């Protein structure tokens, strides 16, 4: 398979060409909608992971712990005055 994407090494060249063609035909609005959908999914996965590790956490703590995973502990401490280790 002649593609620069190693994660698609098991995809045939014909299938890859179809994928690229479909992606090129999508409007900018459709592409942006996909980005928003993936971002929302990532946020939900992050929250699910926090809920699993901290089953008794409040919604505020889940928000802050999720933010710390995405933004870093120091940023959350500086912005929200909260540290996950506290």
Domain limits, the chain:
6-80
Query: Over the stretch 19-51, which tens digit does the pLDDT of each residue have?
Result: 999 999 999 999 999 999 999 999 999 999 999
Contact 76, 83 (CB under 8 A): yes
pLDDT band at 3, cuts 50/70/90? low
Per-residue confidence (pLDDT) for residue 23, from 0 to 100: 94
pTM comes to 0.71
Q: Find the radius of gyration of the CA atoms of the chain.
A: 19
Query: Over the stretch 52-77, which tens digit does the pLDDT of each residue have?
Result: 999 999 999 999 999 999 999 999 99
Q: Could you tell me the two tokens for 21?
A: 């063609």
């Amino acid at each position: 398979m002649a593609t620069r994407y190693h994660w698609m090494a098991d995809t045939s060249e014909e299938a890859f060409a179809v994928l690229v063609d479909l992606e090129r035909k999508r409007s900018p609005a459709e592409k942006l909608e996909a980005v928003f959908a993936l971002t929302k999914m990532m946020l939900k996965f992050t929250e699910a992971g926090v809920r699993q590790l901290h089953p008794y956490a409040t919604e505020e703590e889940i928000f802050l712990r999720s933010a710390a995973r995405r933004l870093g502990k120091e940023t959350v401490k500086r912005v929200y005055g909260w540290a996950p280790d506290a």
